[in-house]
């Protein structure tokens, strides 16, 4: 790969990412590019490795070394500087935020205390962070002092998103963000994610919902451990044939 060209490409670049559960190879030399400010859908059947890939990209899990000896890489370029997200964990936590399928919140704590657990800035900056457009648009202020266990599923999802966005990340990884939500909140969530993308946040969304493709510029299919690019315009039986 041309190193100079790579550094001038704004966005995420990853390559040679592999992972095995015991003797089962879930990811096989996965490589992709996701330009800055674009949204990509990550599609695949249950058990195809989507959650595993997102956990590696978030820094929670480590990629294995492919059998051919190639070296996994994962970088982010903001247009001027390139960060090695596998080697520089501080940059990874600053640039990348992750919303898993199951919310990571502490149910006995209030919404405010949960957000404070995730916030990495100063106490003085916390109120400013809450007033940022990305957080304010989630409309969680009326619930700040409520324990998370008292919230509905939709409101917990809002708080999970707020926790992921509280440090103003460049990239947001979402693992089936609309699962277990009612139709009304699914539509509201998609509108919110579309607005994030329009404001420059880079999105990678693992999903089973065709409607999520409407907000995506790019689509990836993970099948038999291999990641490939497909058209984000595919729908219905044509899309299902590729996933099966």
Name the residue among 98, 74, 79 with its Cα closest to residue 166.
Answer: 98
Q: Give residue 8's pLDDT.
A: 52
Tens of pLDDT along 39-67? 999 999 999 999 999 999 999 999 877 77
Q: Which stretch of 11-20, 47-56, 121-130 has the lowest confidence by average pLDDT?
A: 121-130
Q: Give residue 134's pLDDT.
A: 87
- The C-alpha atoms of residue 153 and residue 148 are separated, in whole angstroms, by 10
Distances (CA, A) of 57 to 132, 193, 205: 26, 19, 12
Number of domains in the chain: 1
Tens of pLDDT along 132-177? 988 988 989 999 999 999 999 889 999 999 999 999 999 999 999 8
Q: What is the pTM of this model?
A: 0.91
Name the residue range of residue 171's domain: 3-243
CATH of the domain at 69: 3.40.50.300
* 39-43 and 218-223 strand pairing: parallel
């Amino acid at each position: 790969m041309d190193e100079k060209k790579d550094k001038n490409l704004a966005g995420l670049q990853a390559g040679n990412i592999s992972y095995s559960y015991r003797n089962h190879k879930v990811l096989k030399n996965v490589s992709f590019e996701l330009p800055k400010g674009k949204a990509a859908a990550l599609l695949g059947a249950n058990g195809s490795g989507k959650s595993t890939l997102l956990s590696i990209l978030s820094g929670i899990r480590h990629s294995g070394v492919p059998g051919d000896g190639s070296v996994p890489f994962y970088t982010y370029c903001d247009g001027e500087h390139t960060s090695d997200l596998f080697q520089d964990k501080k940059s990874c936590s600053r640039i990348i935020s992750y919303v898993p399928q199951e919310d990571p919140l502490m149910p006995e704590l209030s919404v405010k205390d949960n957000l404070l657990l995730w916030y990495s800035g100063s106490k003085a900056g916390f109120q400013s962070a809450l007033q940022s457009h990305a957080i304010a648009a989630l409309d969680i202020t009326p619930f700040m002092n409520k324990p998370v266990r008292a919230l509905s599923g939709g409101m917990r999802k809002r708080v999970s998103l707020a926790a992921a966005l509280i440090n103003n990340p460049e990239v947001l990884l979402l693992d089936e963000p609309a699962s277990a939500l009612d139709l009304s909140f699914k539509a509201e969530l998609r509108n919110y994610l579309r607005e994030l993308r329009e404001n420059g946040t880079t999105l990678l969304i693992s999903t089973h919902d065709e409607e999520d493709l409407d907000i995506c510029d790019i689509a990836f299919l993970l099948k038999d451990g291999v990641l490939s690019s497909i058209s984000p315009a595919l729908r219905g039986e044509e899309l299902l044939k590729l996933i099966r």
